[in-house]
């Protein structure tokens, strides 16, 4: 299974075998972590994976899933830190899913195992391990909004643009909030994040940014899979336009 295929078959795994993952898998994961592609090259990041099998106290917080290992994403402080964390962490989640390892984002959890790397903060924790229940699910069974509920179609999109939206729609999000909204043209997609009352709280706003980063990675990976010449750009003139409770995030433009 490739990372792209994992977009369509992953699900959150909430029951794990309390079993060791071979050292070789972690050595390969370490090499993969060296190759991650950031959304914002200027924001530094670091991942830490730890074994929690004999240490129940190594994570704290709400809605935690008990797992043999946890992955922690740290980044430098920045207004875009949440999006950067989601974008990078989803690369790891899809990599692990494609290799038979289950994952579940842990929005309410904090790892208490070690000090944060110098100048960085914990952004998101992910539970991981071999699954006790299903690792995969057919994409049609994922509970998501219909594409017509999250998109405004201004023009008939090209096939590739439709495929990007299909992958974007399947992204996981905290409490399945699916905050992404899209304004779609033939060869470009403007991405917006839905503001709601709860997202004004700083903690939910942080998770919304992580959600948006995860979804943006699904878009980027699909564009790569389809060999598309696509770029993510920030169009400041759109940022000034508040569209009924939605904040502009960025645009994907296909160049031909």
Ligand X SMILES: Cc1cc2nc3c(=O)[nH]c(=O)nc-3n(C[C@H](O)[C@H](O)[C@H](O)COP(=O)(O)O)c2cc1C
Q: Which residues bind ligand X (CB under 6 A)?
A: 11-12, 14, 63, 65, 104-108, 124, 142, 172-176, 207, 210-211, 214
Rank residues 94 and 124 by Cβ distance to ligand X and give the closer one: 124
Question: What does DSSP assign to residue 16?
Answer: B
Rank residues 121 and 185 by Cβ distance to ligand X and give the closer one: 121
Per DSSP, helices labelled H in the chain are 3-9, 23-34, 81-98, 147-150, 159-169, 202-225, 236-239
Rank residues 176 and 196 by Cβ distance to ligand X and give the closer one: 176
The distance of closest approach from Cβ of residue 159 to ligand X in the complex, given in angstroms and rounded to an integer, is 25
The distance of closest approach from Cβ of residue 62 to ligand X in the complex, given in angstroms and rounded to an integer, is 7
The distance of closest approach from Cβ of residue 61 to ligand X in the complex, given in angstroms and rounded to an integer, is 8
Cβ contact 59:112 at 8 Å? yes
Which two tokens mark 27? 């050595």
The distance of closest approach from Cβ of residue 188 to ligand X in the complex, given in angstroms and rounded to an integer, is 25
Torsion, CA 43, CA 168, CA 198, CA 113, rounded to 10: -50
Question: What does DSSP assign to residue 20?
Answer: P
The distance of closest approach from Cβ of residue 211 to ligand X in the complex, given in angstroms and rounded to an integer, is 5
**Phi, psi (5° rounding) for residue 195?**
-90, 135
Rank residues 188 and 218 by Cβ distance to ligand X and give the closer one: 218
Cβ contact 154:185 at 8 Å? yes
Question: What does DSSP assign to residue 176?
Answer: G
The distance of closest approach from Cβ of residue 220 to ligand X in the complex, given in angstroms and rounded to an integer, is 17
Rank residues 14 and 163 by Cβ distance to ligand X and give the closer one: 14
The distance of closest approach from Cβ of residue 103 to ligand X in the complex, given in angstroms and rounded to an integer, is 9
Rank residues 2 and 176 by Cβ distance to ligand X and give the closer one: 176
Cβ contact 83:77 at 8 Å? no
Rank residues 113 and 231 by Cβ distance to ligand X and give the closer one: 113
Return d(Cα 46, Cα 33) in angstroms, integer.
9
Residue whose C-alpha is closest to residue 225's, from 32, 40, 8, 28? 8
| Burial readout 83-118 (b: 16 or more C-beta within 10 A, e: otherwise) | bbbbbbbbbbbbbbbbeebbbbbbbebebeeeeebe
């Amino acid at each position: 299974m490739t990372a792209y295929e994992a977009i369509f078959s992953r699900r959150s795994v909430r029951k794990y075998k309390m079993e060791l993952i071979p050292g070789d898998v972690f050595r390969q994961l370490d090499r993969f972590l060296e190759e991650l592609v950031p959304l914002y090259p200027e924001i530094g990041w670091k991942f830490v994976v730890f074994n929690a099998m004999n240490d129940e106290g190594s994570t704290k917080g709400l809605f935690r899933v008990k797992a043999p290992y946890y992955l922690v994403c740290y980044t430098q402080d920045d207004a875009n830190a949440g999006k950067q964390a989601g974008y990078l962490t989803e690369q790891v989640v899809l990599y692990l899913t494609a290799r038979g390892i289950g994952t579940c984002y842990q929005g309410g959890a904090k790892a208490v195992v070690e000090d944060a790397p110098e100048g960085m903060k914990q952004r998101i924790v992910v539970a991981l391990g071999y699954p006790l229940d299903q690792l995969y699910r057919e994409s049609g069974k994922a509970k998501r909004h219909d594409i017509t509920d999250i998109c405004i179609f201004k023009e008939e999109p090209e096939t590739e643009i439709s495929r990007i939206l299909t992958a974007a729609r399947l992204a996981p999000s905290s409490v399945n909030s699916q905050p992404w909204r899209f304004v779609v043209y033939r060869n470009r997609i403007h991405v917006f994040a839905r503001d709601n009352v709860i997202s004004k709280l700083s903690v939910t706003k942080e998770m919304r940014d992580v959600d948006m980063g995860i979804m943006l990675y699904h878009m980027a990976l699909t564009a790569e899979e389809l060999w598309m010449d696509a770029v993510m750009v920030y169009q400041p003139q759109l940022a000034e336009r508040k569209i009924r409770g939605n904040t502009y995030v960025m645009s994907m433009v296909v160049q031909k």
